[in-house]
Protein backbone atom coordinates (compact mmCIF):
# COMPACT_ATOMS: atom_id res chain seq x y z
CA UNK A 1 0.00 0.00 0.00
CA UNK A 2 2.75 2.48 0.96
CA UNK A 3 6.53 2.29 1.08
CA UNK A 4 8.83 4.57 3.02
CA UNK A 5 10.79 5.28 6.19
CA UNK A 6 8.60 3.57 8.77
CA UNK A 7 8.90 3.68 12.56
CA UNK A 8 8.74 -0.04 13.32
CA UNK A 9 9.64 -1.81 16.57
CA UNK A 10 11.38 1.25 18.00
CA UNK A 11 13.45 2.22 14.98
CA UNK A 12 13.15 3.45 11.40
CA UNK A 13 13.25 0.93 8.58
CA UNK A 14 12.79 1.25 4.82
CA UNK A 15 9.81 -0.99 4.22
CA UNK A 16 6.37 -1.33 2.74
CA UNK A 17 3.05 -1.79 4.53
CA UNK A 18 0.37 -4.08 3.12
CA UNK A 19 -3.17 -3.56 4.40
CA UNK A 20 -6.19 -5.85 4.34
CA UNK A 21 -9.61 -5.00 5.78
CA UNK A 22 -8.22 -1.95 7.58
CA UNK A 23 -5.47 -3.86 9.38
CA UNK A 24 -1.77 -4.23 8.70
CA UNK A 25 -1.24 -7.55 6.97
CA UNK A 26 2.49 -7.42 6.23
CA UNK A 27 5.52 -5.16 6.80
CA UNK A 28 8.75 -5.71 4.92
CA UNK A 29 11.31 -4.48 2.44
CA UNK A 30 9.83 -6.67 -0.29
CA UNK A 31 6.31 -5.32 0.23
CA UNK A 32 5.46 -2.98 -2.63
CA UNK A 33 3.50 0.21 -2.26
CA UNK A 34 3.22 3.88 -3.10
CA UNK A 35 6.46 5.58 -2.06
CA UNK A 36 5.91 8.38 0.44
CA UNK A 37 8.20 11.26 1.36
CA UNK A 38 8.96 11.83 5.02
CA UNK A 39 8.67 9.57 8.05
CA UNK A 40 5.77 7.26 8.83
CA UNK A 41 4.78 7.31 12.51
CA UNK A 42 1.91 5.61 14.31
CA UNK A 43 -1.03 8.02 14.39
CA UNK A 44 -1.51 9.52 17.84
CA UNK A 45 -3.96 8.56 20.57
CA UNK A 46 -5.11 11.60 22.57
CA UNK A 47 -6.70 10.31 25.77
CA UNK A 48 -7.78 13.71 27.08
CA UNK A 49 -9.94 16.09 25.04
CA UNK A 50 -12.97 18.24 25.79
CA UNK A 51 -15.09 18.49 22.66
CA UNK A 52 -17.91 20.43 24.40
CA UNK A 53 -20.86 20.19 21.97
CA UNK A 54 -24.37 19.86 23.53
CA UNK A 55 -25.05 23.30 25.06
CA UNK A 56 -21.52 24.62 24.32
CA UNK A 57 -21.40 24.20 20.56
CA UNK A 58 -19.96 27.68 20.08
CA UNK A 59 -16.77 26.50 21.80
CA UNK A 60 -16.34 23.15 20.07
CA UNK A 61 -18.25 20.22 18.66
CA UNK A 62 -17.37 16.61 18.13
CA UNK A 63 -17.27 17.45 14.43
CA UNK A 64 -14.89 20.43 14.67
CA UNK A 65 -12.77 18.93 17.44
CA UNK A 66 -12.27 15.63 15.63
CA UNK A 67 -11.39 17.45 12.40
CA UNK A 68 -8.74 19.35 14.35
CA UNK A 69 -7.49 16.04 15.76
CA UNK A 70 -7.21 14.59 12.27
CA UNK A 71 -5.12 17.53 11.09
CA UNK A 72 -2.88 16.99 14.11
CA UNK A 73 -2.12 13.36 13.22
CA UNK A 74 -4.45 11.85 15.82
CA UNK A 75 -6.42 8.69 15.00
CA UNK A 76 -8.31 8.21 18.29
CA UNK A 77 -9.55 10.64 20.94
CA UNK A 78 -11.06 10.11 24.38
CA UNK A 79 -13.60 12.80 25.18
CA UNK A 80 -14.23 13.92 28.76
CA UNK A 81 -17.73 13.92 30.27
CA UNK A 82 -17.89 17.30 32.07
CA UNK A 83 -20.08 18.71 29.32
CA UNK A 84 -23.40 20.56 29.62
CA UNK A 85 -25.27 18.37 30.43
CA UNK A 86 -22.75 16.14 32.21
CA UNK A 87 -22.36 12.63 30.80
CA UNK A 88 -23.28 10.86 34.02
CA UNK A 89 -25.80 8.22 32.91
CA UNK A 90 -26.23 5.73 30.09
CA UNK A 91 -28.90 7.72 28.26
CA UNK A 92 -26.70 10.81 27.87
CA UNK A 93 -23.71 8.62 27.08
CA UNK A 94 -25.59 6.90 24.24
CA UNK A 95 -26.84 10.22 22.90
CA UNK A 96 -23.31 11.60 22.66
CA UNK A 97 -21.95 8.46 21.04
CA UNK A 98 -24.73 8.65 18.43
CA UNK A 99 -23.61 12.19 17.56
CA UNK A 100 -20.05 10.94 17.19
CA UNK A 101 -21.16 8.13 14.87
CA UNK A 102 -22.49 10.79 12.49
CA UNK A 103 -19.91 13.52 12.93
CA UNK A 104 -16.46 12.28 13.95
CA UNK A 105 -13.46 12.39 11.61
CA UNK A 106 -11.33 10.15 13.86
CA UNK A 107 -12.12 7.19 16.08
CA UNK A 108 -13.94 8.35 19.19
CA UNK A 109 -14.16 7.18 22.79
CA UNK A 110 -15.99 8.74 25.73
CA UNK A 111 -15.43 8.62 29.46
CA UNK A 112 -18.21 8.51 32.06
CA UNK A 113 -18.51 11.15 34.77
CA UNK A 114 -18.46 10.35 38.47
CA UNK A 115 -20.66 12.73 40.46
CA UNK A 116 -22.00 12.89 43.99
CA UNK A 117 -25.44 11.96 42.65
CA UNK A 118 -24.50 8.93 40.53
CA UNK A 119 -21.84 7.33 42.72
CA UNK A 120 -24.27 4.80 44.24
CA UNK A 121 -25.26 3.47 40.82
CA UNK A 122 -21.96 3.91 38.97
CA UNK A 123 -21.27 0.17 38.69
CA UNK A 124 -24.74 -0.43 37.24
CA UNK A 125 -24.25 2.41 34.73
CA UNK A 126 -20.86 1.06 33.66
CA UNK A 127 -22.36 -2.37 33.06
CA UNK A 128 -25.16 -0.91 30.95
CA UNK A 129 -22.77 1.13 28.80
CA UNK A 130 -20.42 -1.81 28.27
CA UNK A 131 -23.18 -3.84 26.66
CA UNK A 132 -23.00 -1.43 23.74
CA UNK A 133 -19.70 0.47 23.89
CA UNK A 134 -16.11 0.19 25.06
CA UNK A 135 -15.76 2.49 28.08
CA UNK A 136 -12.20 3.88 28.37
CA UNK A 137 -12.52 5.14 31.95
CA UNK A 138 -14.51 6.86 34.66
CA UNK A 139 -13.30 10.43 34.85
CA UNK A 140 -11.62 12.77 34.79
CA UNK A 141 -12.74 12.68 38.42
CA UNK A 142 -12.41 16.17 39.89
CA UNK A 143 -11.09 16.42 43.44
CA UNK A 144 -11.77 20.17 43.15
CA UNK A 145 -14.48 21.76 41.03
CA UNK A 146 -16.66 24.85 41.21
CA UNK A 147 -19.59 22.52 40.47
CA UNK A 148 -19.92 20.74 43.81
CA UNK A 149 -21.73 17.80 42.22
CA UNK A 150 -18.53 17.11 40.26
CA UNK A 151 -16.25 17.56 43.28
CA UNK A 152 -15.37 14.09 44.59
CA UNK A 153 -13.72 13.59 47.95
CA UNK A 154 -11.07 11.05 48.90
CA UNK A 155 -13.60 9.06 50.91
CA UNK A 156 -15.74 8.41 47.83
CA UNK A 157 -12.65 7.20 45.95
CA UNK A 158 -11.67 5.02 48.90
CA UNK A 159 -15.07 3.32 48.89
CA UNK A 160 -15.55 3.18 45.12
CA UNK A 161 -16.29 -0.36 43.98
CA UNK A 162 -16.32 -0.50 40.21
CA UNK A 163 -14.40 -2.53 37.65
CA UNK A 164 -13.16 0.35 35.51
CA UNK A 165 -10.11 2.56 35.12
CA UNK A 166 -10.46 5.81 37.05
CA UNK A 167 -8.73 9.00 35.90
CA UNK A 168 -8.12 11.80 38.38
CA UNK A 169 -7.87 15.58 38.09
CA UNK A 170 -5.55 15.82 41.07
CA UNK A 171 -5.94 19.13 42.87
CA UNK A 172 -6.78 19.15 46.57
CA UNK A 173 -9.45 21.83 47.22
CA UNK A 174 -7.75 22.88 50.47
CA UNK A 175 -5.00 24.53 48.39
CA UNK A 176 -7.21 26.13 45.74
CA UNK A 177 -8.61 29.66 45.84
CA UNK A 178 -10.37 31.72 43.21
CA UNK A 179 -8.50 34.59 41.56
CA UNK A 180 -6.75 35.81 38.45
CA UNK A 181 -4.24 34.84 37.23
CA UNK A 182 -5.07 31.48 38.70
CA UNK A 183 -1.44 30.34 39.11
CA UNK A 184 -1.29 32.72 42.08
CA UNK A 185 -4.24 30.99 43.74
CA UNK A 186 -4.01 27.28 42.80
CA UNK A 187 -0.96 26.22 44.75
CA UNK A 188 1.52 23.59 43.70
CA UNK A 189 0.69 21.74 46.92
CA UNK A 190 -2.83 21.12 45.62
CA UNK A 191 -1.48 18.74 43.00
CA UNK A 192 1.27 17.16 45.06
CA UNK A 193 -0.95 16.44 48.08
CA UNK A 194 -3.75 15.08 45.90
CA UNK A 195 -1.46 12.67 44.02
CA UNK A 196 0.14 11.38 47.20
CA UNK A 197 -3.23 10.85 48.89
CA UNK A 198 -4.67 9.06 45.84
CA UNK A 199 -1.59 6.85 45.64
CA UNK A 200 -2.35 5.73 49.19
CA UNK A 201 -5.95 4.94 48.26
CA UNK A 202 -5.48 2.92 45.09
CA UNK A 203 -4.22 2.68 41.53
CA UNK A 204 -5.37 5.56 39.34
CA UNK A 205 -4.45 7.33 36.12
CA UNK A 206 -3.57 10.97 36.81
CA UNK A 207 -4.50 13.62 34.27
CA UNK A 208 -2.24 16.54 33.24
CA UNK A 209 0.39 16.46 36.01
CA UNK A 210 2.42 19.66 36.06
CA UNK A 211 5.06 19.33 38.78
CA UNK A 212 8.16 17.26 39.30
CA UNK A 213 7.12 16.20 42.80
CA UNK A 214 3.75 14.93 41.61
CA UNK A 215 5.29 13.00 38.71
CA UNK A 216 7.87 11.40 40.99
CA UNK A 217 5.14 10.49 43.50
CA UNK A 218 3.31 8.21 41.06
CA UNK A 219 4.40 4.65 41.89
CA UNK A 220 1.22 2.56 41.61
CA UNK A 221 -0.66 4.35 38.88
CA UNK A 222 0.01 6.04 35.56
CA UNK A 223 -0.08 9.66 34.47
CA UNK A 224 -0.20 12.06 31.57
CA UNK A 225 1.36 15.47 31.03
CA UNK A 226 -0.17 18.18 28.85
CA UNK A 227 1.98 20.07 26.32
CA UNK A 228 1.33 23.45 27.90
CA UNK A 229 2.91 22.39 31.18
CA UNK A 230 6.07 21.53 29.25
CA UNK A 231 6.09 24.49 26.87
CA UNK A 232 4.78 27.33 29.08
CA UNK A 233 5.40 28.71 32.55
CA UNK A 234 4.20 31.61 34.70
CA UNK A 235 6.70 33.74 32.77
CA UNK A 236 4.35 33.51 29.77
CA UNK A 237 1.66 35.48 31.61
CA UNK A 238 2.70 38.73 29.95
CA UNK A 239 2.40 37.21 26.47
CA UNK A 240 -0.81 35.24 27.12
CA UNK A 241 -2.45 37.98 29.21
CA UNK A 242 -6.18 37.22 29.72
CA UNK A 243 -5.74 33.79 28.10
CA UNK A 244 -3.35 32.47 30.74
CA UNK A 245 -5.72 30.45 32.94
CA UNK A 246 -5.55 26.66 32.73
CA UNK A 247 -6.21 23.98 35.36
CA UNK A 248 -3.83 22.88 36.79
CA UNK A 249 -2.22 26.28 36.33
CA UNK A 250 1.07 27.09 34.70
CA UNK A 251 4.03 26.53 36.99
CA UNK A 252 7.47 28.00 37.51
CA UNK A 253 9.85 27.75 34.57
CA UNK A 254 12.02 25.26 36.45
CA UNK A 255 9.09 22.80 36.56
CA UNK A 256 8.44 23.09 32.82
CA UNK A 257 12.13 22.69 32.05
CA UNK A 258 12.32 19.59 34.24
CA UNK A 259 9.37 18.01 32.41
CA UNK A 260 10.99 18.60 29.02
CA UNK A 261 14.40 17.43 30.23
CA UNK A 262 12.78 14.27 31.62
CA UNK A 263 10.39 13.67 28.74
CA UNK A 264 11.56 10.06 28.55
CA UNK A 265 10.22 9.45 32.08
CA UNK A 266 6.68 10.61 31.30
CA UNK A 267 3.96 8.03 30.67
CA UNK A 268 1.60 9.83 28.28
CA UNK A 269 1.45 13.10 26.38
CA UNK A 270 -2.19 14.23 26.13
CA UNK A 271 -3.43 17.60 24.92
CA UNK A 272 -6.14 18.32 27.53
CA UNK A 273 -7.78 20.13 24.60
CA UNK A 274 -10.10 22.54 26.44
CA UNK A 275 -11.46 25.13 24.01
CA UNK A 276 -13.16 28.31 25.20
CA UNK A 277 -14.14 31.37 23.21
CA UNK A 278 -11.96 34.44 23.59
CA UNK A 279 -14.83 36.11 25.47
CA UNK A 280 -14.90 33.22 27.96
CA UNK A 281 -11.14 33.40 28.40
CA UNK A 282 -11.29 37.11 29.17
CA UNK A 283 -13.80 36.23 31.91
CA UNK A 284 -11.24 33.83 33.40
CA UNK A 285 -12.23 30.45 31.94
CA UNK A 286 -9.48 27.88 32.32
CA UNK A 287 -8.24 25.75 29.43
CA UNK A 288 -6.15 25.70 26.25
CA UNK A 289 -6.99 24.14 22.88
CA UNK A 290 -4.29 21.72 21.71
CA UNK A 291 -5.53 18.56 19.99
CA UNK A 292 -4.34 19.79 16.57
CA UNK A 293 -0.99 21.20 17.66
CA UNK A 294 0.40 18.76 20.25
CA UNK A 295 1.81 16.04 17.98
CA UNK A 296 3.13 18.53 15.34
CA UNK A 297 4.89 20.72 17.93
CA UNK A 298 6.58 17.73 19.51
CA UNK A 299 7.62 16.33 16.14
CA UNK A 300 9.38 19.66 15.65
CA UNK A 301 11.01 19.34 19.09
CA UNK A 302 12.23 15.90 18.03
CA UNK A 303 13.50 17.29 14.73
CA UNK A 304 15.54 19.80 16.74
CA UNK A 305 16.89 17.04 18.99
CA UNK A 306 15.22 18.24 22.19
CA UNK A 307 13.41 14.91 22.58
CA UNK A 308 13.73 11.61 20.72
CA UNK A 309 11.20 10.39 18.18
CA UNK A 310 11.20 7.05 19.97
CA UNK A 311 10.13 8.72 23.21
CA UNK A 312 7.53 10.81 21.40
CA UNK A 313 5.93 7.79 19.72
CA UNK A 314 5.86 6.02 23.07
CA UNK A 315 4.13 8.92 24.85
CA UNK A 316 1.67 9.89 22.11
CA UNK A 317 0.74 6.47 20.73
CA UNK A 318 2.18 3.32 22.32
CA UNK A 319 1.59 4.06 26.01
CA UNK A 320 -1.90 5.59 25.77
CA UNK A 321 -3.01 2.57 23.74
CA UNK A 322 -1.56 0.14 26.29
CA UNK A 323 -2.74 1.98 29.41
CA UNK A 324 -6.33 2.29 28.18
CA UNK A 325 -6.44 -1.15 26.49
CA UNK A 326 -6.89 0.10 22.93
CA UNK A 327 -5.37 -3.11 21.70
CA UNK A 328 -5.53 -2.37 17.96
CA UNK A 329 -3.97 1.10 18.19
CA UNK A 330 -0.63 2.66 19.07
CA UNK A 331 1.92 0.86 16.90
CA UNK A 332 2.67 0.05 13.30
CA UNK A 333 2.47 -3.71 13.70
CA UNK A 334 0.96 -6.67 11.90
CA UNK A 335 -2.64 -7.23 13.03
CA UNK A 336 -3.22 -3.70 14.31
CA UNK A 337 -5.27 -1.05 12.57
CA UNK A 338 -3.40 0.65 9.71
CA UNK A 339 -3.33 4.02 11.47
CA UNK A 340 -0.33 6.18 10.69
CA UNK A 341 0.70 9.78 10.02
CA UNK A 342 3.33 10.88 7.52
CA UNK A 343 5.50 13.88 8.46
CA UNK A 344 7.91 15.63 6.13
CA UNK A 345 10.56 16.98 8.49
CA UNK A 346 11.62 19.54 5.89
CA UNK A 347 8.24 21.25 6.07
CA UNK A 348 8.31 23.33 9.25
CA UNK A 349 5.51 25.86 9.64
CA UNK A 350 4.53 28.55 12.11
CA UNK A 351 1.23 27.90 13.84
CA UNK A 352 -1.51 30.38 12.95
CA UNK A 353 -4.92 30.26 14.60
CA UNK A 354 -6.74 31.07 11.38
CA UNK A 355 -5.31 27.93 9.79
CA UNK A 356 -6.48 25.60 12.58
CA UNK A 357 -9.82 23.80 12.73
CA UNK A 358 -11.15 24.25 16.27
CA UNK A 359 -14.32 26.30 16.70
CA UNK A 360 -12.73 28.39 19.46
CA UNK A 361 -10.66 30.36 16.94
CA UNK A 362 -7.46 30.94 18.94
CA UNK A 363 -4.37 29.09 20.14
CA UNK A 364 -1.80 29.74 22.88
CA UNK A 365 0.80 28.35 20.45
CA UNK A 366 0.53 31.22 17.96
CA UNK A 367 3.88 31.49 16.16
CA UNK A 368 5.25 28.19 17.46
CA UNK A 369 7.15 26.06 14.94
CA UNK A 370 5.52 22.73 14.09
CA UNK A 371 5.61 19.90 11.56
CA UNK A 372 2.05 19.00 10.59
CA UNK A 373 1.29 15.66 8.93
CA UNK A 374 1.16 15.54 5.14
CA UNK A 375 -1.05 12.46 5.16
CA UNK A 376 -3.01 10.56 7.79
CA UNK A 377 -4.26 7.00 7.31
CA UNK A 378 -7.08 5.52 9.38
CA UNK A 379 -7.52 1.77 8.95
CA UNK A 380 -5.60 1.95 5.68
CA UNK A 381 -7.55 4.82 4.14
CA UNK A 382 -5.99 8.23 3.55
CA UNK A 383 -8.38 10.62 5.29
CA UNK A 384 -6.52 13.90 5.80
CA UNK A 385 -6.47 15.21 2.26
CA UNK A 386 -9.99 13.97 1.55
CA UNK A 387 -11.26 14.87 5.05
CA UNK A 388 -13.38 11.74 5.18
CA UNK A 389 -15.38 11.14 8.34
CA UNK A 390 -14.42 8.11 10.37
CA UNK A 391 -17.83 7.67 11.98
CA UNK A 392 -16.22 5.12 14.29
CA UNK A 393 -16.91 5.01 17.99
CA UNK A 394 -15.41 2.53 20.40
CA UNK A 395 -17.74 -0.44 20.51
CA UNK A 396 -17.45 -3.68 22.43
CA UNK A 397 -15.43 -5.27 19.63
CA UNK A 398 -12.89 -3.65 17.36
CA UNK A 399 -11.01 -1.62 19.91
Residue in 370, 368, 216 with CA at minimum distance from that of residue 300: 370
Q: Rounded CA gap, 249 and 263, in Å?
A: 19
Contact between 225 and 218 under an 8 Å Cβ cutoff? The reply is no
Query: Residue 249 burial by CB count (10 A; 0-12/13-18/19+): exposed, middle or buried?
Result: buried
Residue in 6, 48, 42 with CA at minimum distance from that of residue 268: 48
- Which stretches of the chain are DSSP H helices? 62-71, 90-103, 122-130, 154-159, 188-201, 212-217, 227-231, 237-240, 253-261, 278-282, 294-303, 309-313, 319-323
CB atoms within 10 A of CB 343: 24
Q: Helix axis angle, 62-71 relative to 90-103, nearest 10°?
A: 50
Catalytic residues: 272
Contact between 85 and 92 under an 8 Å Cβ cutoff? The reply is yes
Question: CA-CA distances (angstroms) from residue 345 to 7, 309, 371, 376?
Answer: 14, 12, 7, 15
For strand 107-110 and strand 375-378, is the pairing parallel, antiparallel, or unpaired? unpaired
Q: Rounded CA gap, 395 and 399, in Å?
A: 7
The DSSP output letter for 399 is: -
Residue in 397, 378, 398 with CA at minimum distance from that of residue 388: 378
Amino acid sequence: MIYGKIFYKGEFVEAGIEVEDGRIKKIGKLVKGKEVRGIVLPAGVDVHVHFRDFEEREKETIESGSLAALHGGICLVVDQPNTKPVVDDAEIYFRRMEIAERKTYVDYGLNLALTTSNVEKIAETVEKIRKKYFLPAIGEVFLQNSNKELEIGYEILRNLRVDAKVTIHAEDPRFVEIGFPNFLFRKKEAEVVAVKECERIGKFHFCHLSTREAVESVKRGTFEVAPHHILFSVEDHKRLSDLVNVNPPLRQKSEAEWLLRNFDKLHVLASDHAPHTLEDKKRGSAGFPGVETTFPIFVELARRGLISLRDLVEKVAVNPAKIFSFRNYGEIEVGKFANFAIFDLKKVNEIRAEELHSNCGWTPYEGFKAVFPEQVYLRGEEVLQSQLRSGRVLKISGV
